[in-house]
Amino acid sequence: MYSNSSKRKEKFKTLLQRTSVTAGHNTLIACADFNAMNSAWGYNEYTARGRDLYQNSMELDFTLITDPLHPTRIAYFMSSDTTPDLMLVKNDVWGAIT
């Protein structure tokens, strides 16, 4: 999934809730370019979208698999390396994803 950074009001809670219901007790992997800044995945600041995504994913028992120490976007010119691409997992009972 790709979330355009210009669409600041985009919410992920409904998407995560619906996919959780559909998956039931099966392992669910959510991968996306969320474009949501939060210190939990390596940013020095956070946006409302990043705060909401973090809170929603925690409330719904998702675990962050993406390692913030390994950015998924390499910087150019005056910007810094970032991690807009995240992998979240739920119901990983065997620990196979981590």
Q: Is residue 50 part of a domain?
A: yes
Q: Is residue 7 part of a domain?
A: no
For 11-48, give one letter per residue: b (16+ CB within 10 A) or e.
ebeeebeeebeeeeeeebebebebbbbbebbbbeebee
Q: Is residue 25 part of a domain?
A: yes
Per-residue pLDDT in tens (0 to 9) along the chain, 98 residues:
667 666 656 678 888 999 999 999 999 999 998 888 899 998 888 989 999 999 999 999 999 999 888 888 887 877 787 888 899 999 986 676 66
For residue 4, what pLDDT is reported? 66
For residue 81, what pLDDT is reported? 79
Q: CA–CA distance from 19 to each of 27, 35, 76, 83, 90 (Å)?
A: 11, 20, 35, 23, 10
Q: Is residue 75 part of a domain?
A: yes
Q: Is residue 39 part of a domain?
A: yes
| Domain count for the chain | 1
For residue 57, what pLDDT is reported? 95
Q: Which structural domain range is residue 35 located in?
A: 13-90
Q: Is residue 2 part of a domain?
A: no
Q: Is residue 80 part of a domain?
A: yes
For residue 77, what pLDDT is reported? 79
Q: Is residue 96 part of a domain?
A: no
